[in-house]
């Protein structure tokens, strides 16, 4: 299973773009990279998933370099409601592991 | 609403009690999961039932016992727990492909059961 590291916390201001990086040096060939968002007293919620290069949806972008040993979640123009913990998940099938999570605080 | 419900939402139990947590998914998924989330710790995967097969997790103490009677319901039976077992227990479901694919389906999480062991 991949060993995952993420920054413990990040601060940002409303309207800014936020990039959260996840390191997964021993990612396996078949592993996917997924990001989840969690608010207090709720279960995590899926944000985006990718395998390589770039993936974009209506809320975020995911950048994965060619070696796939890291990935970056990009949140455009964050708002106060984006204050949450963001988890990187690496793996596939029944073999996967969550990272420690990054606590993002968005300030007015 | 994510389509995954958990009951009870809060549970306080003594170390000698026996209780069960219940999870139900209304999404037609074929995989269900139990997670433990403690303060200041990452999500810990406890058990997986995928394509009607249980994936063993030898690191989980035997005082936690899962049961999956069908693809929509999942239980976690608790007995003789310890205070360090106090945590948020989350259930999730996803739609998985047969073994051999690396793909990992989007997991839908329930709101969790906040368990306190006294």
Nearest in space to B71 (alpha carbons), one of B47, B57, B53: B53
Q: What is the predicted pLDDT for the residue at B56?
A: 65
Q: Would you list the DSSP string of A16-69?
A: --EEEEEE-TT--TT-EEEEEEE-TTS--EEEEEESSEEEE-SS-EEEE-TT-S
Report, as an integer, the average pLDDT of A19-44.
93
Closest in B96, B102, B111 to A43, CB measured: B111
Is the pLDDT reported for residue A24 higher than 60? Answer: yes
Interface of B with A in 96-115 (CB under 8 A): 96-97, 99-104, 106-112
Tens digits of residue pLDDT in A75-84: 999 999 999 9
Q: Is B85 helix (H, G, I), strand (E, B) or coil?
A: helix
Nearest in space to A85 (alpha carbons), one of A99, A71, A69, A64: A99
Chain B residues in contact with A96 by the CB 8 A cut-off are 45, 104
From residue A28, give the alpha-carbon distance in Å to each of A17, A31, B70: 30, 5, 32
Digitized pLDDT (tens) for each residue of chain B, 118 residues in all: 789 999 999 999 988 889 999 999 999 999 999 999 998 777 888 998 887 677 767 689 999 999 999 889 999 999 999 999 999 999 999 988 765 555 678 899 999 999 999 9
Going by the DSSP 8-state scheme, the letter that residue A5 receives in this structure is B
Q: Quick check: A92 and B106 CB within 8 A?
A: no
Give the span between the Cα atoms of B37 and A43, in whole angstroms.
10
Closest in B2, B45, B99 to A93, CB measured: B99
Q: For residues B52-74, b (16+ Cβ closer than 10 Å) or e, as one string?
A: eeeeeeeebeeebebebeebeeb
Q: What is the predicted pLDDT for the residue at B102?
A: 59
Q: What is the predicted pLDDT for the residue at A1?
A: 65
Q: What is the predicted pLDDT for the residue at B16?
A: 87
Cis? peptide before B8, omega within 30° of 0: yes
Q: What is the predicted pLDDT for the residue at B53?
A: 76
Nearest in space to A97 (alpha carbons), one of A22, A42, A41, A47: A22
């Amino acid at each position: 299973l991949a060993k995952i590291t993420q920054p413990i916390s990040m601060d940002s201001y409303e309207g800014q773009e936020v990039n959260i990086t996840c390191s997964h040096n021993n990612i396996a060939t078949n592993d996917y990279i997924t990001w989840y968002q969690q608010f207090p007293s709720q279960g995590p919620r899926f944000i985006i998933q990718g395998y390589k290069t770039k993936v974009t949806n209506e809320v975020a972008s995911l950048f994965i370099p060619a070696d796939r040993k890291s990935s970056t979640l990009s949140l455009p123009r964050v708002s106060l409601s984006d204050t949450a913990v963001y988890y990187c998940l690496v793996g596939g099938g029944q073999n996967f592991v969550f990272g420690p999570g990054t606590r993002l605080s968005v300030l007015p | 609403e994510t389509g995954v419900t958990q009951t009870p939402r809060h549970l306080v139990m003594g170390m000698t009690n026996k209780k069960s947590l219940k999870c139900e998914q209304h999404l037609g998924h074929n995989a269900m999961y139990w997670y433990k989330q403690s303060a200041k710790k990452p999500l810990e995967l406890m058990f997986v039932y995928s394509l009607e097969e249980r994936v063993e997790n030898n690191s989980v103490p035997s005082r936690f016992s899962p049961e999956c009677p069908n693809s929509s319901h999942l239980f976690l039976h608790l007995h003789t727990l310890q205070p360090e077992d106090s945590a948020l227990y989350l259930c999730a479901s996803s739609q998985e492909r047969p073994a051999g694919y690396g793909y990992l389906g989007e997991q839908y999480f329930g709101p969790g059961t906040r368990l306190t062991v006294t």
